[in-house]
A and B are shown apart, each in its own frame.
Chain A
Amino acid sequence: DQQVKQNSPSLSVQEGRISILNCDYTNSMFDYFLWYKKYPAEGPTFLISISSIKDKNEDGRFTVFLNKSAKHLSLHIVPSQPGDSAVYFCAARGSSGGSYIPTFGRGTSLIVHP
């Protein structure tokens, strides 16, 4: 039973346009959400996070939006660059009772075409 779902295995975008990666979760106890980026043959690197007390967090070209009622979050990359081509993992965790271990989605492979 997948508690964190990334329903799009891949996404193809033109350089300069917006990339939107989506993530859905089912566990109401999750209140902290993270995005990781992974290049081939490397480990995931932390990109951006958002707490459930917010509905938006922005860091440069990356913005994460959280819709708690829909249990949905999305990562926006504007403008997209070829170097953004990677697999993006959504992760979610709780923040009480020691539940700090994130649950990961299966990832979305983003390809940004020059």
Chain B
Amino acid sequence: NAGVMQNPRHLVRRRGQEARLRCSPMKGHSHVYWYRQLPEEGLKFMVYLQKENIIDESGMPKERFSAEFPKEGPSILRIQQVVRGDSAAYFCASSPTGQDEQYFGPGTRLTVT
């Protein structure tokens, strides 16, 4: 049973470009969470999705950031017009229901130059 998959593992973007981060949850998991970890910081919740629905996006910046979890395919975290402050590790987690422990992917390290 494969774990949570994230790709790419490393992503370099120039300021102003778009970044797309992908997350495939564990098999049987329909709940996906995105977190961001800045250097020397803990994990900060961004958004919680269940197939085709955004359940909670209270941690997501209002501009430039969006997330989706379509019926088919991985969940996507999209950052438009990236800035240096977006450089961070972005982790995806999944759970079978919204009440269980979350299983994390290996993360995508975004570097904005």
Residue numbers of A with Cβ under 8 A of B are 4, 6, 34, 36, 41-46, 49, 89, 95, 98, 100-107
Contact = CB atoms under 8 A, between A and B. Distances in A.
A95 B99 contact: yes
A90 to B, nearest CB: 9
A101 B50 CA distance: 13
Interface string B76-113: 00000000000000010100001101111111000000
A41 B101 CA distance: 21
Nearest to A106: B42
A107 B42 contact: yes
Contact of B43 (A41, A46, A89): A89
B48 A46 contact: no
Contacts of B105: 43
A103 B35 CA distance: 11
B40 interface: yes
Interface of B: 4, 6, 33, 35, 40-45, 48, 55-56, 91, 93, 98-99, 101-107
Contact of A43 (B40, B42, B101, B106): B106
A49 B102 CA distance: 12
Contact of B101 (A6, A49, A104, A106): A49
Contact of A45 (B40, B99, B104): B104
A31 B35 CA distance: 21
A34 B44 CA distance: 15
A41 B103 contact: no
A100 B98 contact: yes
A95 B99 CA distance: 8
Contact of A44 (B43, B48, B55): B43
A101 B48 contact: yes
Contacts of A43: 4, 6, 91, 93, 104-107
Nearest to B99: A100
